[in-house]
Structure 1
Amino acid sequence: TEQSDEQKQEADERESMYLVSEFASQYFQNILHKTDQGKAIGLSYFKERKFTEETIKKFDLGYALDEWQAFTNEALKKGYQLNFLEKTGLTIVKEERHFDRFKGRVIFPIHSMSGRVLGFGGRILATNKNAAKYLNSPESEIYHKSKVLYGIYHAKQSIAKEDNCYLVEGYTDVIQFYQKGIKNVVSSSGTALTPDQIRLVNRLTKNITVLFDGDAAGIRASLRGIDLILEQGMNVKVCTFPDGEDPDSFAKQNTFEELTLYLQENSKDFIAYKAALLMEEAKNDPVKKADLIRDMVTSISKIPDRIQTEIYVQECARIMDISEDVLFSTLAQIGRKELRDANKTYQTKQKAFEVVKHKTSLKKVDIQFELEQRIIEVLLLYGNRTEDFEDLVLKENEEGELILEPIIHKAKVFEKIYLDLQEDEMEFSNDNFRELYYTIIDTLNQNPDTGLENFVNKVDPKIASEITNILMNDERYELHDWERKNIFPKAKNHSVAQLVNETILSLRCFLIDQKVSEFKQETIDNKNDTNKNILEEVKDYSKLKTLLSRKLDRVL
């Protein structure tokens, strides 16, 4: 199809910008190699980094004179238009004056996959607190930072051949690895990885190995970006260097064979690596462990391949000492939430969750289990807190009508729960919950100020694991399925006192419903005079249910 005049003009402008960028690259190289300032400052810096002459030329490294207009004046003298010098960001124009953007910096040209110069990175060498250490070309018609990987032009053949791409942070990391003989390496230029950058690699290989400095805090922060790689259906490994080392320094100190061996022996699957790292951070803190497990499941949820997803869930369950069912349920919940939000990325992966969703959707909600679990959770999180509890007592008013009168009293949360359950002689139906309940009550009775962290350290590993499972289940506490059954426990953002009262009242209502159902079944099975007694029992329980419902402030 024939281009419109506007399209031709845009194409011509882009081509002009490419030509300006190519000229700039050649200019900076000439300054580096052929001027006294370039040799004394720029070339000396690269030699200090142990870059060879061959490497310096291979990557078209250069230097910009420490003068305000040296480059711009030379470009204008050669016939390049100021308009395109400004659009590429090489020149800063302010009113009638213009300045060189990269003045006094060593230059790293940034190439496209096909080798065209798109932009530049410049590192300042002089000590200047007011100037950024690294400076990149601004966004332009030809340079989009989020769509470019430094070193991709030189690395593409090796990436395809080795079927793996090493991802590092900085320019010098790439160059040092390449010089050492490991050529399948690229950099995101110190910025967070983007989907477009990942797609560049995805065209060449499905395998990425992310290389981290030995800085633990930096590693933790960088883990979030790797989820994007998983989302693209790629296989991710992680390799960390010893404390104080980065890819640049480590490559300088080791031979090609030593570096290759280190990468082979220390590259670990990302999911397994992250799970082990987070578990080390969480240690015996169940609250932290629950949060970190959610973090892990979020990462796993990015993987579009169903088989891989299942394998990773099994591996994480083993590393984190938690049941696979909990992880699968959390995984399904994430999938459902994202689908509800109409997130297109997750919609493409809906099939990956079908088996999990099917499994959980067919599972009947066990109301008693959920309520008992909620009581345990409240005890774990708030058991030692003192709250103002409102009890509703049935009294006659002046007209002789029965009304519920509120009475406020202070109590520890664990005392309130224990006394209420004792009053109704309610027992936990779940064996694990029952054991955990009495362990918590006994511990808090001996020392009411015991915190969750101290409590966990006192129980055996089986119970500690159960605690983590319960805290993990917290996010799946949804009420829409319960409403149909007249069960209305409040969410945790209500006051703790409300939460305790309503959870216990809801449990009592549920148990009454169960009892009434049993009585009704008896009337069907026993067609004799005992039915009259059973009906009386049903009436009594119904009255109690009505009273409890009034306390729950709802109408049956």
Structure 2
Amino acid sequence: MILKSTVDRIMEATDIVEVIGEFVQLKKRGANYVGLSPFANERTPSFTVSPAKGIFKDFSSGKGGSAVTFLMELEKFTYPEALKWLAKKYGIEVEETKEAPEDREADNRRESLMIVSGYAAKFFHESLLDTDEGQSIGLSYFKERGFSTETIKKFELGYSPDQWEAFTGQAIKEGYQPEFLVESGLSVKRDNGNLYDRYRGRVMFPIHSFTGRVIAFGGRTLKTDKNVPKYVNSPESEIYHKSSVLYGLYFAKKSIREDDNCYLVEGYADVISVHQAGIENVVASSGTSLTSEQIRLIGRLTKNITILYDGDAAGIKASLRGLDMILEEGLNVKVVLFPDGHDPDSYVRLVGTSAFKKHIEDNKKDFILYKTNLLLKEAGNDPIRKAEVIRDIVESIAKIPDSIKASVFIKECSHILQIDERALLSELNKMRQAKAKKDGERQQPRHEAEPPEDLWADPVIEGKQEDEATQEREIIRLLLLYGNKMIDWDGIANTYIGPFMIAELNDVDFEQPTCKSFVEIYGKQVEDGVLPEEQFFIHYPDKDIVDLTVTLIATKYTLSDNWYEMHRILVPDEQANMKATILGAIFHLKMHKVGKLLENLRKELQVAQTAEEQDILLSQYMRMKKVEKSISDYLGSVILK
């Protein structure tokens, strides 16, 4: 367990805007920062970060919390993992009550896969640098590719010995479980149950997660045997989903944000060579077709993608339709071609950094216009093929969500295609209407004979339950916002609002589990002589407590400072009469609880079997009615004063 003093130092050092800014492109808006949700596919920013409170709130998915919660939600870290990531970022030594269990038999399956992948990366890297075979075969290959020692170490490049069980045998000897070796794809199980190495005799390219942990590998053979696949990649696992991973993104994300552009290349070597040349905002889809998940990853950091092609015309044409997905996600796409026979890796090594950058600037073309010219040239004077090209181009433009941007492309393509702009607009509208109709048909209406399940519920009971939950959450909100403020009311003094509310609610049972837990935690803190504030609950280990806290203190909208000056509209301030605010909330909740008791007593009276039982229940009922009246009278007097 990480010591509380260490946790406190981590929390004090953490800048939530800086942390989340590594994953989401944030823009300042008033006192807060906003960006597109990393948890939902949205076009209008609803993701808010409050540096003053140290919290984020995603109004699309409902998620919220501290920097720790964000890492847990996005990267699926455990609470200690998130703390250690932050500690590493801010250079804080993690002190624990006992040594961290680099445990081969970790309870957490995901963490076990992470640990074994990290071990494998270290094994392959050391095999490359410290063994004769690794140096003569693997290291010499990387050096021939022009990779420096610093680059090799930075990307943790490695070599897997050309033996059947070199890695597997050593891993098992050191205590790593065979099931995780197989599940991660590092080892393969024979029919007899024995394991052998998947990547024998290959140079290794570790694939890192967004936060820098090794989650998979790509292994390249150096043999010329055509029966041996050139690349062997990790299979899908709990920690690796290739459709949502981009090679090099961990090393590129900072530069992508700063340059507001992402270079997309094809392979591992392209990424490494371009990165080594000082152009660090470069990633690869690792030989797979580009996916919408990968595009959204880039879209969190920039709205600009530049595709660096290797000059293979057939390959370019085959990938054009797939690039329409980038347009659909609202990103701007440019295309750069290199001279025949060259890819980004070979070209940057040939001409150097300056000439490489100049080539990109001089030759980058907008994707839509490039596609138009390419297909038009291919169609020649054939009117039928030209008509197909026009439809193809308009189909791409129809993917662009920004109507102004789409209109600009229609105008430019009209000129290139030598066709009336109105004809292109007409075709564009047809395509958009067809898509809207198709999307509408996907949402199947519910059959009239089968009403939704919640229609059978008692609306009165549902309403009461919802109202009661609202009242309980209101109590929590007031404890969070005002619990540490001193009471200055008539007849009550020398105490704080928090302890006063806890004492007044001593006879109330909370129905909502998280609200109940919150009040119990708050009460325990008060008993220990502590007045817990927002930050205590924002950084609390229980995710449900954090979610409740952030939901109650975060707001999507804030009034500007000159609201009153502009509109002369006064917004009610609950702090103007704190006595009415606090007591009103307490007694409204009590009124709900009493109402619930009365309802239960009425039901029991209806089924009471004996006169004696009826008398007892009636007596209880009358007492509760008096309580209800006293609360009602008290509420009226407090709120009207």
| TM-score category (smaller protein) | 0.5 to 0.7
TM-superposed CA distance for 1:129, in Å, is 2.2
In structure 1, the residue matched to 2:151 is 55
Q: 1:37 to 1:136 in 2, by over 3 A?
A: same
TM-superposed CA distance for 1:127, in Å, is 2.2
1:215 maps to 2:299: no
In structure 2, the residue matched to 1:432 is none
C-alpha separation in 2, matches of 1:344 and 1:237: 34
Of 397, 402, 414, 1:300 maps to 397
Three-state SS of the structure 1 residue aligned to 2:203 is: strand
Three-state SS of the structure 2 residue aligned to 1:341 is: helix
Structure 2: which amino acid aligns with 1:48? E
In structure 2, the residue matched to 1:197 is 294
C-alpha separation in 2, matches of 1:344 and 1:266: 43
TM-superposed CA distance for 1:30, in Å, is 0.4
1:235 maps to 2:332: yes
In structure 2, the residue matched to 1:133 is 230
Three-state SS of the structure 2 residue aligned to 1:157 is: helix
In structure 2, the residue matched to 1:311 is 408
Structure 1: which amino acid aligns with 2:207? I
Which structure carries more relative contact order (alpha carbon 8 Å, separation 6+)? Answer: 2
Equivalences for residues 149-298 of structure 1 within 5 A: 149-298=246-395
C-alpha separation in 1, matches of 2:182 and 2:160: 16
Three-state SS of the structure 2 residue aligned to 1:40 is: helix
Query: Size of the alignment, in residue pairs?
Result: 343
C-alpha separation in 2, matches of 1:189 and 1:115: 17
C-alpha separation in 2, matches of 1:330 and 1:69: 61
TM-superposed CA distance for 1:244, in Å, is 1.1
In structure 1, the residue matched to 2:197 is 100
C-alpha separation in 2, matches of 1:242 and 1:280: 19
Structure 2: which amino acid aligns with 1:35? T
Equivalences for residues 472-491 of structure 1 within 5 A: none
C-alpha separation in 2, matches of 1:310 and 1:320: 15
The percentage of counterpart residues that share the same residue type is 55
- Residue deviations 1:84-142 (CA, integer Å, cap 9, x gap): 00110101112322111111100000001100111000001112222210111000000
Structure 2: which amino acid aligns with 1:30? E
C-alpha separation in 1, matches of 2:441 and 2:142: 46
Of 117, 122, 141, 1:26 maps to 122
Structure 2: which amino acid aligns with 1:47? K
Structure 1: which amino acid aligns with 2:201? G
1:15 maps to 2:108: no
- Please report the RMSD computed on the Cα atoms of aligned residues, expressed in angstroms: 2.2
Structure 1: which amino acid aligns with 2:211? S
Three-state SS of the structure 2 residue aligned to 1:210 is: strand
Structure 2: which amino acid aligns with 1:176? S
Of 159, 177, 193, 1:81 maps to 177
TM-superposed CA distance for 1:338, in Å, is 1.6
Equivalences for residues 30-45 of structure 1 within 5 A: 30-45=126-141
Q: 1:345 to 1:193 in 2, by over 3 A?
A: farther
List runs of 5+ in structure 2 lacking aligned partners.
Answer: 1-64, 79-104, 444-641
Q: 1:343 to 1:66 in 2, by over 3 A?
A: farther
Structure 1: which amino acid aligns with 2:382? D
TM-superposed CA distance for 1:209, in Å, is 0.2
In structure 2, the residue matched to 1:386 is none
C-alpha separation in 2, matches of 1:213 and 1:321: 30
Structure 1: which amino acid aligns with 2:429? A
C-alpha separation in 1, matches of 2:354 and 2:347: 13
C-alpha separation in 1, matches of 2:143 and 2:171: 28
Q: TM-score, normalising length from structure 1?
A: 0.60
List runs of 5+ in structure 1 lacking aligned partners.
Answer: 347-556
TM-superposed CA distance for 1:324, in Å, is 1.2
TM-superposed CA distance for 1:190, in Å, is 0.9
In structure 2, the residue matched to 1:553 is none
In structure 2, the residue matched to 1:328 is 425
TM-superposed CA distance for 1:345, in Å, is 11
Structure 1: which amino acid aligns with 2:256? I
Structure 2: which amino acid aligns with 1:297? V
- Residue deviations 1:344-385 (CA, integer Å, cap 9, x gap): 999xxxxxxxxxxxxxxxxxxxxxxxxxxxxxxxxxxxxxxx
Three-state SS of the structure 1 residue aligned to 2:212 is: coil
Structure 1: which amino acid aligns with 2:242? K
In structure 2, the residue matched to 1:449 is none
C-alpha separation in 2, matches of 1:103 and 1:333: 55
In structure 1, the residue matched to 2:164 is 68
Contact 2:106 2:112 in 1 (8 A): no
C-alpha separation in 2, matches of 1:207 and 1:160: 10
Contact 2:273 2:345 in 1 (8 A): yes
C-alpha separation in 2, matches of 1:97 and 1:246: 41
**Moved >4 Å (runs of 4+):** 7-11, 343-346
1:146 maps to 2:234: no
Structure 2: which amino acid aligns with 1:332? N
Structure 2: which amino acid aligns with 1:59? F
Equivalences for residues 376-395 of structure 1 within 5 A: none
Q: 1:143 to 1:344 in 2, by over 3 A?
A: farther
Structure 2: which amino acid aligns with 1:208? I
In structure 1, the residue matched to 2:632 is none
- Residue deviations 1:399-438 (CA, integer Å, cap 9, x gap): xxxxxxxxxxxxxxxxxxxxxxxxxxxxxxxxxxxxxxxx
- Residue deviations 1:17-58 (CA, integer Å, cap 9, x gap): 000000000000000001111011100110111111111111
C-alpha separation in 1, matches of 2:222 and 2:175: 30
Q: 1:46 to 1:343 in 2, by over 3 A?
A: farther
C-alpha separation in 2, matches of 1:158 and 1:254: 22
Q: 1:344 to 1:67 in 2, by over 3 A?
A: farther
